[in-house]
Amino acid sequence: MKFRHLYLVFTLAAVAFAAWVTGRYVSRLVETASFFPIRQVQVFGLRKYPVQQLIRQSGLRPGESLVFVNTTAVRRNVEAVARLSVLDVSRTFPETLVLRVEEREGMALISTGAEIAELDRQGRILGRGPAGLDCDKPLLHLP
């Protein structure tokens, strides 16, 4: 009876260990395998911003799997560009990642003396430049 109990414990331990090793192997295999590699990135909504620059900014790696792409990270990376707002990041199987973006438009300029900042409707700074730029937007002077 005692040997039978030990045999059962060792068998269960061996099965659990084998399952753990197999799970780690399969997990690594799936993560590194190129299932559904991204072959095309479709970008909608850009007017002036270069598509290739947006794709570089997104952090996508060549050959990255469409299954494992982190859409939250892609959104965060693209929105780090002040001029861009991400509306949607989606997958279209088997090989396409779709980015729908909106370019923020400058509505006014603020002059602080030596520098001019361009603002959008929400007051977000889109860019800065030297004072004296000629522009068709309203210019606000700050002391």
pLDDT digits 0-9 by tens, 76-129: 999 998 889 999 999 998 899 999 999 998 888 888 777 888 888 888 888 887
Give the full edge-to-edge strand order of the sheet including 108-111.
125-130, 115-119, 108-111, 139-141
Q: Are 39 and 95 in contact (CB under 8 A)?
A: yes
Give the model confidence (pLDDT) of 50-77 as tens digits: 999 999 999 998 888 888 899 999 999 9
Helix (H) / strand (E) containing 9: helix 2-32
Position with higher pLDDT, 40 vs 25? 40
pLDDT band at 16 (very low <50, low <70, confident <90, very high): confident
* pLDDT (0 to 100) of residue 55: 93
How sure is the predictor about 3, in pLDDT bands with cuts at 50, 70 and 90?
A: low
Phi, psi of 75 (to 5 degrees): -60, -45
pTM for the whole structure: 0.67
